[in-house]
């Protein structure tokens, strides 16, 4: 019986190892691929681009409004409408600033004042900050005018913010300010302040016309003799608000656009001149709003329209918000998300 012997042959020394996988190597590779693909499919199935983009839309709108407030030193806001899912960002820009430190009455942006009815000096050294415009140094009807009608930046149609410091020598009926015939600010004998704004209407032919004049009156005692008060009037097509030293003293809801300025911005004047000092006048107007919408699979959890407001330093406006603001989102798959705006305006 002949035993067959197996011959072992050598590969030539220049030949590399033979390519390919063993059965065991293929099984290990397939197992790893299955684990990776399974995990990937599971992660992809749980990823909802709609909910992710919704969180980003809300957070970006809030951060952009805050940045706008800081950059322009003017208020900004973000309005949310749960009914339509809309997100509207709106900022304000300071378009006029008058400090009354020089007799030539220079203003920011080259909008200087023109005095009328003053026989001599028009400034007092005892101002709210430094010197101040002293209307009591002029005669009856003395005033200072600023021509804003040529610059579209002064349009108050979408909203405005007018702030000033006042120190009446005596409290009586008088015209304090007239912003282009659209915003009127008057002092009353009981120390209250009356604000009137003229709305815009569209007639039956589709033409814009001056509409109703809305009137807002503060409580008595806002103005006191020989005392400074920081008066502010705000309108944002949601509310018309008057504030004294940062505290709301009168408010009413309103959404209509305002009429265009048809004349100069005037301090004083009128049948009865304001007897007192005016200082630190700042006018801001609303910029063009930017609107976006949530994806259709995402809704706001709040039951009605709400908003987040930032002051000129980028913080939450303390007049509107007593503390941090929470914005809740609900997703069609039953999930939810919560964004929080802290007091300093940061978004978590």
Confidence of residue 209 (pLDDT cuts 50, 70, 90): very high
Q: Tokens standing for 279? A: 């200082």
Q: What is the 3-state secondary structure (H, E, C) of 123-172?
A: EECCCCCCCEEEHHHCCCCCEEEECCCCCHHHCCCCCEEEEEEEEECCCC
Confidence of residue 99 (pLDDT cuts 50, 70, 90): very high
Q: What is the pLDDT of residue 289?
A: 75
Write out pLDDT tens, residues 259-292.
Answer: 999 899 999 987 887 999 999 999 999 887 788 8
Write out pLDDT tens, residues 127-138.
Answer: 999 999 999 999
Of 19-23, 36-40, 219-223, where does the model show the most confidence? 219-223
Q: Higher confidence at residue 74 or residue 2? A: 74
Residue 267, Cβ density class (10 Å: 0-12 exposed, 13-18 middle, ≥19 buried): buried
Compute the mean pLDDT over every residue in the chain, rounded to the nearest whole number. 86
**Picking from 59-73, 168-182, 197-211, which range would have the lowest pLDDT averaged per residue?**
59-73
Q: Higher confidence at residue 1 or residue 61? A: 61
Task: Quote the DSSP letter at residue 272.
Answer: S
Q: What is the pLDDT of residue 18?
A: 52
Q: What is the pLDDT of residue 46?
A: 42
Distance CA(162)–CA(265), nearest Å, equals 11
Q: What is the pLDDT of residue 6?
A: 40
Strand-pair category, 276-286 with 160-168? antiparallel
Q: What is the pLDDT of residue 50?
A: 54
Distance CA(64)–CA(254), nearest Å, equals 26
Q: What is the pLDDT of residue 92?
A: 87
User: How many helices (DSSP H) and strands (DSSP E) are in the chain?
Assistant: 2, 21
Confidence of residue 35 (pLDDT cuts 50, 70, 90): low
- Exposure class string for 60-74: b at 16+ Cβ within 10 A, else e: ebbbebbebbbebbb
Q: What is the pLDDT of residue 306?
A: 85
Average of pLDDT values for 289-303? Answer: 86
Residue 5 has pLDDT above 80, yes or no: no
Distance CA(285)–CA(94), nearest Å, equals 7
Q: What is the pLDDT of residue 90?
A: 86
Confidence of residue 38 (pLDDT cuts 50, 70, 90): low
Distance CA(219)–CA(288), nearest Å, equals 33
Average of pLDDT values for 110-127? Answer: 93
| CATH 2.60.120.200 domain extents, the chain | 94-286
Q: Tokens standing for 125? A: 């050294």
Helices of type H across 47-104: 49-72
DSSP string for 21-46: --HHHHHHHHHHHHHHHHHHHHHHHH
**Picking from 88-92, 127-131, 193-197, 275-279, which range would have the lowest pLDDT averaged per residue?**
88-92
Q: What is the pLDDT of residue 304?
A: 67
Overall fold of domain 94-286: Jelly Rolls (2.60.120)
Q: What is the pLDDT of residue 110?
A: 82
What does the angle CA 301 – CA 304 – CA 84 come to, to the nearest 5 degrees?
80
Specify the pTM: 0.75
Average of pLDDT values for 113-140? Answer: 94
Which helix (H) or strand (E) segment holds residue 268: the answer is: strand 265-268
DSSP string for 280-344: EEEEEEEPPPEEEE--TTEEESSSS-EEEEE-TTSSB-TTT-SS-EEEEEEETTS-EEEEEE-TT
Beta bridge partners of 234: 161, 241
Distance CA(90)–CA(95), nearest Å, equals 16
Distance CA(276)–CA(59), nearest Å, equals 46
């Amino acid at each position: 019986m002949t035993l067959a012997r197996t011959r072992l042959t050598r590969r030539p020394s220049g030949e590399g190892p033979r390519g390919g996988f063993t059965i065991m190597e293929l099984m290990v590779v397939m197992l790893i691929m299955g684990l990776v693909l399974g995990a990937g499919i599971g992660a992809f199935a749980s990823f909802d681009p709609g909910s992710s983009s919704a969180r980003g839309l809300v957070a970006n709108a809030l951060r952009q409004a805050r940045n706008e407030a800081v950059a322009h030193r003017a208020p900004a806001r973000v309005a949310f409408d749960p009914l339509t899912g809309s997100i509207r960002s709106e900022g304000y820009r300071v378009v006029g600033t008058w400090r009354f430190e020089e007799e030539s009455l220079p203003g920011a942006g080259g909008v200087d004042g023109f005095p009328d009815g003053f026989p001599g000096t028009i400034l007092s050294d005892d101002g709210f900050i430094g010197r101040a415009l002293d209307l009591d140094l002029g005669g009856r009807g003395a005033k200072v005018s600023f021509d804003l009608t040529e610059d579209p930046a002064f349009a108050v149609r979408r909203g405005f913010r007018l702030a000033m410091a006042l120190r009446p020598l005596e409290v009586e009926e008088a015209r304090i300010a007239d912003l282009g015939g659209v915003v009127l600010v008057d002092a009353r004998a009981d120390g209250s302040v009356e604000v009137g704004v003229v709305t815009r209407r569209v007639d039956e032919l589709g033409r814009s016309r001056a509409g109703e004049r809305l009137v807002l009156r503060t409580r008595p005692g806002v103005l006191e003799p020989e005392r400074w008060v920081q008066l502010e009037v705000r309108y944002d097509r949601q509310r018309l608000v008057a504030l004294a030293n940062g505290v709301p003293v009168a408010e009413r809801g309103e959404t209509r656009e305002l009429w265009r300025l048809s004349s100069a911005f005037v301090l004083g004047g009128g049948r009865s001149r304001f007897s007192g000092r005016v200082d630190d006048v700042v006018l801001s107007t609303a910029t063009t709003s930017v609107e976006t919408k949530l994806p259709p699979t995402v809704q706001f959890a709040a039951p009605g329209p709400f908003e987040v407001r930032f002051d000129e330093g980028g913080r939450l406006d303390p007049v509107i918000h007593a503390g941090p603001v929470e914005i809740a989102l609900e997703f069609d798959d039953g999930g939810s998300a919560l964004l929080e705006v802290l007091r300093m305006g940061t978004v978590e």
